[in-house]
């Protein structure tokens, strides 16, 4: 798709350039200029400018969009730490300007140091350790086999010389890298050159690196070809061990990585013991039943000699046995050591594979245990079949959503993390839901930090009743996924709610004066909700009064909407009943209609009279405050009293506005 798109854009740009070229040629011919050379130069310049413009515009179109940080996360993140900057006040003098230049240069040198220092947490260090591990494994696999089977070394000596030299160069470069590798001191990364060098030189790594680079392989110039003289390179194995632990911490399948590593160790041991078996057989002169059967023909080829030796070592290390009895002391010692190492490695691999299988099925086994317990309980208490199916569907859906495999509660799954880090993680996990909640968009970030770790997730099946009208409100809910319906007393759907909506705050804040639910809420399909208990919400609102005011304003508005909907629904029901009564009793219809109109007019007049009385009361109170403020000794007390009353009046006006709009 990207290739087709690029070819289409290229063809489109070519068409544009061709169109501009033809248009300029026509304009040049139509002008009939007296000097054709100057006209051609002028038009050529114009053409070059247009071509440059087209190329720049196409390059801008091809440029990928910038990945900007999410505004919601940026506002509510717990890591709002500004970068440290060196600032110098510019007084306009020469000394001040010189200080600014020095600080800028110092800042540039500091940034250059940071770029040149290797951070152990970055990808460069990871990939460098990977390259070192390849070089270490090259020495571990090839040196012993080249020593045991000289024909392998003699067949391609140049190739082995080049490979050995390349690994030595990588080991030398590794010393330079370690001299520039940062480390933590008092929780901060060190970037000072002298400290980095001293830290590396005084460590055991420097000793191992020096031993690994001892050029003992130069003795081959006098002793002949002996690749095993490069055994000092094995001291770089400690770098491979660090690579192993980094991969183990980064991968999502650590047990599988451990099994693969153990299998690799078993293969290396089989490789080495096979080569040692052939060397021992060669030292014994290939005499006896235990040694390698060196006979002319296929047994003399390199492939057969290596495979035969590897077969012996595999039978020994896997404790299968069924091998000839050793004859000499050296053969007995070698066989005993092989059996002991084989038993240890094989038992370790079997145990690790068992851990992988157990951990892989642990979540499923826990789910099956809970499901079996639920089935036993329902069977013991003779629960009806419909209820059983609902419960089983809940378990299946909860398993599919990851709520019964360590992903349900962040405090349970990640209890060892500090609260700030758990808060940051919870914001990232529930970002798509929290961004849609109105109260969290307007409140203080700390208010959300207090509540995000106290949210508990619940799953409801199709048709489940979440709350009923008249129930005592003990929690409020935030919809994470699914669709909910708000029902009237007769079961009619008043409105629907989706992800990001919240409800239940009216009863928690006691806005209706009864601390009760104001409507029925039902789940349409499978829905996932976050609940906040009444105690947690009220405790958070005491610490953050601004959030309390926002929540109360939204709750009052929603309460008025619910009352308005209920009034409209009641009025519609009364109209239907009146129409039915009029159809049944046509003579009384006119008188009943007049009485109903008179009653509605009187109700509207009474409501408007209440509003006017409230406004008159506020005006009268404002006059009294102004009169009392003259008696106050200082201006501050006057201002506080007036401000307090004005705030009260503003709230009353907002209430009156909401009430009038609902009418």
Using a pLDDT cut of 90, give the percent of the chain over it. Answer: 11
Q: Is the per-residue pLDDT at 34 higher than 50?
A: no
CA distance 423 to 20: 59
d(CA 183, CA 196) in angstroms, rounded, equals 8
Residue-range domain boundaries for the chain: 2-56, 119-250, 253-382, 408-567, 585-662
Q: Select the more confidently predicted residue: 425 or 478.
A: 478
Calpha distance 505→498 (Å, rounded): 16
How many whole angstroms separate alpha carbon 486 and alpha carbon 290?
85
Q: What 3-state class would DSSP assign to 147?
A: helix
Burial (Cβ within 10 Å: 0-12, 13-18, ≥19) of residue 188: exposed
At the top level of CATH, which class does the domain 408-567 belong to? mainly beta
H or E element at residue 641: helix 635-662
Q: Name the strands in the sheet holding 502-503, side by side, starting at the edge strand that comes first in the sequence.
A: 456-460, 527-533, 475-481, 502-503
Is residue 178 within 8 A of residue 120, CB to CB? The reply is no
pTM tops 0.85, yes or no: no
- pLDDT band per the 50, 70, 90 thresholds, residue 463: confident
C-alpha 133/C-alpha 324 separation (Å) is 38
Question: Percent of the chain having pLDDT more than 70?
Answer: 64
> How much is the average pLDDT of 382-392?
85
Look at residues 214, 239, 24, 207 and name the one whose alpha carbon lies nearest to residue 140: 239
Return the sign of the alpha-carbon dihedral for residues 209, 211, 216, 217.
Answer: negative
10 pLDDT band, cuts 50/70/90, is: low
Tokens of 574: 């009364």
Burial class from Cβ neighbours inside 10 Å (0-12, 13-18, 19+) for residue 247 reads middle
Alpha-carbon distance 459 to 481, whole Å? 9
Look at 181-185, 290-294, 534-538 and tell me which has the smallest mean pLDDT. 290-294
The pLDDT value given to residue 108: 59
Q: How far apart are CA 343 and CA 28, in angstroms?
A: 92
Domains 253-382 and 408-567 share a fold: no
Q: What is the mean pLDDT of the chain?
A: 74
The two structure tokens encoding residue 186:
């008092």
Q: How confident is the model at residue 277 (pLDDT cuts 50, 70, 90)?
A: confident
3-state DSSP call for residue 514? coil
Report whether pLDDT(20) > 70.
no
Whole-number pLDDT of residue 512? 60
**201, two tokens:** 């030189």
For residue 131, is pLDDT > 90? yes
Is 50 exceeded by the pLDDT of residue 91? no
Which SS3 state, helix, strand or coil, does residue 513 take? coil
DSSP 225: -
How far CA 293 is from CA of 239, 284, 305, 309, 359, in Å, comes to 40, 12, 9, 10, 46
The predicted structure's pLDDT at residue 95: 46
Quick one: pLDDT at residue 207?
A: 93
Residue 267 vs residue 473, higher pLDDT: 267
Residue 109 is predicted with a pLDDT of 59
Q: How far apart are CA 21 and CA 293, in angstroms?
A: 84
- Residue of 654 and 124 predicted with greater confidence: 124
Please report the pLDDT score of residue 589 as a whole number. 47
Q: Is 167 within 8 Å of 139 (Cβ atoms)?
A: yes
Distance of alpha carbon 241 from alpha carbon 235, whole angstroms: 11
* Mean pLDDT across 487-512: 79
For 253-382, CATH gives 1.10.287.70
How far apart are the C-alpha atoms of 658 and 511, rounded to whole Å?
15
Whether 208 shows a pLDDT value over 90: the answer reads yes
């Amino acid at each position: 798709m990207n290739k087709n798109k690029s070819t289409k854009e290229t063809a489109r740009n070519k068409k544009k350039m061709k169109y501009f070229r033809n248009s300029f040629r026509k304009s040049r011919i139509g002008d009939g200029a007296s000097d054709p050379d100057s006209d051609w130069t002028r038009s050529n310049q114009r053409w070059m400018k247009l071509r440059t413009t087209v190329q720049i515009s196409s390059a801008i179109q091809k440029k990928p969009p910038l990945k900007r940080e999410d505004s919601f996360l940026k506002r509510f993140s717990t890591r709002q730490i500004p970068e440290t900057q060196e600032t110098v006040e510019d007084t306009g003098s020469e000394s001040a300007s010189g200080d600014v230049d020095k600080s800028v240069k110092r800042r540039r040198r500091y940034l250059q140091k940071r770029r040149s220092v290797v951070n152990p947490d970055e990808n460069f260090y990871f990939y460098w350790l990977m390259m070192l591990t390849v070089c270490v494994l090259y020495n571990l696999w090839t040196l012993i086999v080249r020593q045991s089977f000289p024909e392998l070394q003699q067949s391609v000596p140049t190739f082995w010389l080049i490979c050995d030299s390349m690994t030595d160069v990588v080991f030398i470069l590794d010393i330079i890298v370690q001299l520039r590798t940062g480390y933590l001191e008092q929780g901060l990364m060190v970037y000072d050159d002298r400290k980095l060098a001293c830290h590396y030189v005084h460590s055991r790594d420097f000793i191992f690196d020096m031993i690994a680079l001892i050029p003992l392989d130069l003795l081959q110039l006098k002793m002949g070809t002996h690749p095993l003289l490069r055994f000092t390179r094995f001291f770089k194995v400690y770098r491979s061990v660090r690579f192993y632990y980094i991969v183990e911490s980064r991968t999502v399948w650590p047990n599988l990585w451990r099994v693969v590593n153990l299998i690799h160790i078993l293969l290396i041991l089989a490789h080495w013991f096979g080569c040692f078996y052939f060397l021992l057989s060669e030292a014994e002169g290939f005499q006896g039943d235990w040694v390698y059967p060196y006979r002319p023909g296929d047994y003399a080829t390199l492939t057969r000699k290596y495979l035969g030796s590897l077969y012996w070592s595999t039978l020994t290390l896997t404790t299968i046995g069924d091998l000839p009895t050793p004859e000499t002391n050296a053969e007995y010692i070698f066989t005993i050591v092989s059996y002991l190492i084989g038993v240890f490695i094989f038992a370790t691999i079997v145990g690790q594979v068992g851990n992988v299988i157990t951990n892989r099925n642990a979540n499923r086994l826990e789910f099956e245990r809970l499901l079996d317990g639920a089935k036993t309980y329902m069977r013991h208490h003779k629960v009806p079949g419909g209820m059983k199916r609902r419960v089983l569907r809940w378990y299946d859906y909860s398993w599919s959503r990851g709520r019964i495999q360590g992903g349900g509660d962040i405090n349970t799954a990640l209890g060892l993390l500090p609260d700030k880090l758990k808060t940051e993680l919870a914001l990232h996990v529930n970002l798509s839901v929290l961004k849609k909640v109105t109260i969290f968009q307007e409140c203080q970030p700390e208010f959300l930090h207090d509540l995000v770790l106290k949210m508990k997730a619940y799953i409801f099946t199709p048709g489940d009743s979440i709350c009923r009208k008249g129930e005592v409100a003990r929690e409020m809910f935030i919809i994470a996924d699914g669709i909910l319906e708000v029902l009237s007393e007769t079961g009619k759907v008043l409105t629907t709610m989706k992800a990001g909506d919240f409800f239940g705050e009216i009863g928690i804040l006691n806005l209706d004066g009864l601390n009760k639910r104001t409507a029925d809420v039902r789940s349409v399909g499978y829905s996932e909700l976050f609940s906040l208990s009444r105690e947690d919400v009220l405790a958070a609102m005491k610490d953050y009064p601004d959030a309390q005011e926002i929540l109360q304003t939204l709750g009052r508005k929603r309460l008025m909407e619910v009352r308005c909907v209920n009034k409209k629904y009641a009025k519609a029901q009364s109209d239907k009943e009146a129409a039915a009564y009029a159809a049944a009793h046509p003579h009384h219809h006119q008188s009943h209609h007049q009485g109903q109109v008179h009653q509605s007019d009187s109700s509207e007049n009474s409501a408007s009279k209440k509003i006017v009385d409230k406004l008159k009361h506020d005006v009268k109170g404002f006059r009294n405050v102004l009169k009392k403020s003259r008696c106050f000794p200082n201006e501050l007390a006057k201002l506080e009293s007036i401000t307090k009353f004005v705030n009260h009046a503003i709230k009353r006006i907002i209430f009156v506005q909401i009430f009038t709009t609902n009418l």
